[in-house]
């Protein structure tokens, strides 16, 4: 099984800040990585697929990069509505494991 190590587990930043979350796969997953945003009581929302492609309708302040084993998710100019939990997940081979999540708060 491929394990996903996501960091940090929690993060506090100010409105307008640039925020970065990392995800490391235990072996090469090519580009097969999703990033999600999840707000309390809601289903996860796909933000980025294939490691770097922005899902339709997602604001351009969200971006992703990386391939192989190391991936980065960035929010440029953090907005109050970005308070949420963020997860990475690979879909290279089953099981499609998730990272442990990052809880993002506003200072």
Partner 1 sequence: QVTLRESGPALVKPTQTLTLTCTFSGFSLNTLGMCVTWVRQPPGQALEWLGLIDWGADTRYNTSLRTRLSISGDTSKNQVVLTMTNMGPADTGTYFCSRIQKDASSGNVKAFDVWGQGTMVTVSS
Q: With binding defined as CB under 8 A, does residue 60 bind partner 1? A: no
Binding-site string for partner 1 from residue 24 to residue 43, where x marks contact by CB under 8 A and - marks none: --------x-x-x-x---xx
Q: With binding defined as CB under 8 A, does residue 66 bind partner 1? A: no
Q: Residue 34 CB: number of other CB atoms within 10 A?
A: 21
Separation CA 82–CA 106 (nearest Å): 9
Kindly state the smallest distance separating residue 26's Cβ from partner 1, in Å.
14
Backbone angles phi, psi at 81, to 5 degrees: -75, -5
Q: With binding defined as CB under 8 A, does residue 67 bind partner 1? A: no
Please give the C-alpha separations between residue 52 and each of 15, 48, 77, 94, 95, in angstroms, as whole numbers.
23, 6, 18, 21, 21
Q: Select 31 or 61, whichever has its Cβ closest to partner 1.
A: 31
* Binding interface with partner 1 (CB under 8 A): 1, 32, 34, 36, 38, 42-46, 49-50, 55, 87, 89, 91, 94-101
């Amino acid at each position: 099984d491929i394990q996903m190590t996501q960091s940090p587990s929690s993060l506090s930043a100010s409105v307008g800040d640039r925020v970065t979350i990392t995800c490391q796969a235990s072996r090469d997953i090519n580009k097969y990585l999703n990033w999600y945003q999840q707000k309390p009581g809601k289903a996860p929302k796909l933000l980025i697929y294939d490691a770097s492609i922005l899902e339709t309708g997602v604001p351009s302040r969200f971006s992703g990069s990386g391939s192989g084993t190391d991936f980065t998710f960035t929010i440029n100019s953090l907005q109050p509505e970005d308070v949420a939990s963020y997860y990475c997940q690979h879909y290279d081979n089953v099981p499609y494991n998730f990272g442990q999540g990052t809880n993002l708060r506003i200072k």
